[in-house]
Amino acid sequence: MNIVITGASKGIGLELTKLFINDKENTVIGIARSESLLSNLKNKCKENDLDNFKPVFFDLSKLDEIESGLITEIKKYINSIDILINNAGCLINKPFLDNSIEDIQKMVNINFLSPSIVIQSLIPLLKNGTTKHVINISSMGGYQGSAKFNGLSFYSASKAAIANLTESLAEEFKDDNIKFNCLALGAVNTEMLKSAFPNYEAPLQAHEMAQFIYNFALENHKYINGKIIPISVSTP
């Protein structure tokens, strides 16, 4: 299978990428802006006699370069996509009134606009795939009716936007048999979470959540489409 994962250099994205790489039949495109971190993963793959990982260094905040830069690089390796996981995210913890325009734009660009443009650009490759499963990673903060937290208003709103887009695309591309699902994740111990909430200890580790997403990506397109699914051990 051909798999494309954004935010592949750290946290859940890194653990998820490693799981897909372990199957030598897969070609895994890992996207991140950190060339050093992706290169480290590439070197580890070589040490383990794995040559199926293709790192693509790209800053997803550069919306106007996605088509000419990122998509062009992806097409150098594959002409079809079975699984696309939009995992990259940006979290800035600030009171609503303290967010600058730059803060807001950064979160909206990374959490909503960039995955939207990536999907739009990769639809032709998804149509050529077999599994045809797109997973958008959202947050419990963007899940309607969930508990909300001070300082996450724009983050939560941007994550709610990608969830709503998921529902819309599932309907629009049902005749092409492309499945779209959104996973609204609860707290996971990642660098991003620790940076925003230094004193908070999340109940799950990155590798645990990655295993769940991995299994979901491989199997659940057979049964689920157009759904926003809360993945959290706490309520509400």
Sign of the alpha-carbon torsion through 76, 81, 82, 86? positive
Q: How confident is the model over 159-175, as a mean pLDDT? A: 98
Q: Determine, yes or no, domain membership for 103.
A: yes
Q: Angle at CA 188, nearest 5°, toward 147 and 126?
A: 95
Q: Is the pLDDT of residue 72 over 90?
A: yes
Q: What is the pLDDT of residue 187?
A: 87
User: Residue type for 86, please?
Assistant: N
User: Residue type for 144, please?
Assistant: Q
Q: How confident is the model over 2-11, as a mean pLDDT? A: 97
Q: In which band, very low, low, confident or very high, does the pLDDT at 236 lie, cut at 50, 70 and 90? A: low
Q: How many domains does the chain have?
A: 1
Return the closest-CA partner of residue 44 out of 59, 57, 34, 55. 55
**pLDDT tens digit string along 108-156?**
999 999 999 999 999 999 999 999 999 999 999 999 888 888 999 999 9
Q: Determine, yes or no, domain membership for 118.
A: yes
Q: How confident is the model over 201-209, as a mean pLDDT? A: 90
Six-digit token pair at 191? 């660098």
Question: What single-letter DSSP state applies at residue 128?
Answer: T
The answer to which of 54-58, 77-81, 178-182, 189-193 has the lowest mean pLDDT is 189-193
Q: In which band, very low, low, confident or very high, does the pLDDT at 46 lie, cut at 50, 70 and 90? A: very high
Q: What is the pLDDT of residue 195?
A: 79
Q: How confident is the model over 173-202, as a mean pLDDT? A: 90
Q: Determine, yes or no, domain membership for 88.
A: yes
- Percent of the chain surpassing pLDDT 70: 99
Q: In which band, very low, low, confident or very high, does the pLDDT at 161 lie, cut at 50, 70 and 90? A: very high
**pLDDT tens digit string along 220-235?**
999 999 999 999 887 6
Burial category of 177 from C-beta neighbours within 10 Å (exposed 0-12, middle 13-18, buried 19 and up): middle
Mean pLDDT of the chain: 95
Q: Is the pLDDT of residue 196 over 80?
A: no
Q: What is the pLDDT of residue 202?
A: 86
- Nearest-10 Cα torsion for 76, 221, 138, 1: -20
* pTM, full prediction: 0.95
Q: Determine, yes or no, domain membership for 90.
A: yes
Q: Determine, yes or no, domain membership for 236.
A: no
Q: What CATH code is carried by the domain that includes residue 34?
A: 3.40.50.720
Q: Determine, yes or no, domain membership for 168.
A: yes
User: Residue type for 150, please?
Assistant: N
Q: What is the pLDDT of residue 36?
A: 95
Range of the domain at 30: 2-231
